[in-house]
Chain A
């Protein structure tokens, strides 16, 4: 960690009770959910981390406490420095305030996280599905979502599989 990053990390650690993980030069801060928005705002305003690079989630099922980690990476263009924030979230459909008030670029990232994981974002201007069709049920990237594969069709089970597939009426 260089000096600028150390100062920012220590301030966040002190103010928001975050814990730090460092791996091969990359720093990740674990924050409680209510500290997420104030921390990002502080990093943008005071320390110059002004570009949102990434916002995704990780599912740790079957571990339920916490089940998800919301991962957010912000980049400082002036100091050429990356900082990652992780927010552990519990339960089956957690909810967290949206980052669009601070970084409008988070709009589509949060739509994708809602579509794939089911994490709702309060205050999001456009909460729709991004990747799956609009009337899809379920959140595909969760670990307990079925793969949805079809059994391979060989000659011995050709008719059985053919009966299960839809066929167009012309």
Chain B
């Protein structure tokens, strides 16, 4: 029985990692680096992220690229809630990870104040290779996930 579940998990995780669709959430300067990672020279399509869906209902990875202001925070949480399970979040850049250079009243000090984050990518902005390293780390993380709910 253990053999069946292990191979089932590995198959499910293989399918999830190889076809993760990111949701466009480029807010500020990190969005430019995310765009250039998606474009031809550093290609994200070779990892299965062929298209970036603007709709949260059809995506499973949210790359928060850029600083999140306090006015934008409820909007971000609403879009996160509209994504179906399973979903993952990458906090791209310094501002999404910890507030970055903006240590004041108007910017959220890290997007992990409102959504649970799986991978933090450092950089201001991170190079496309840095984002790709973050995505590969996320794939490694998903490969180690176990199926806990069988219903």
Interface residue ranges, A against B (CB under 8 Å): 131-133, 140, 145-150, 152-153, 165-168, 170
In the complex with contacts A132-B106, A148-B105, A168-B112 CB distance below 8 A: yes
Closest-by-CB residue of B relative to A150 is B109
Interface residue ranges, B against A (CB under 8 Å): 70-71, 77, 98-99, 103-106, 109-110, 112-116
Closest-by-CB residue of A relative to B80 is A168
Closest-by-CB residue of B relative to A148 is B105
Measured CB to CB, the closest approach of chain A to B102, in angstroms, equals 9
> 7 tightest A-B contacts by CB?
A148-B105, A149-B103, A133-B71, A150-B109, A166-B113, A148-B104, A168-B114
- B104 and A149 contacting across the interface, CB-CB below 8 Å: yes
Could you tell me the dominant secondary structure of chain B's interface residues? Answer: loop
In the complex with contacts A132-B71, A133-B71, A165-B109, A150-B99 CB distance below 8 A: yes
- A150 and B103 contacting across the interface, CB-CB below 8 Å: yes
Measured CB to CB, the closest approach of chain B to A89, in angstroms, equals 24
Complexed CA–CA distance, A167 and B111 (Å) = 10
- A133 and B114 contacting across the interface, CB-CB below 8 Å: no
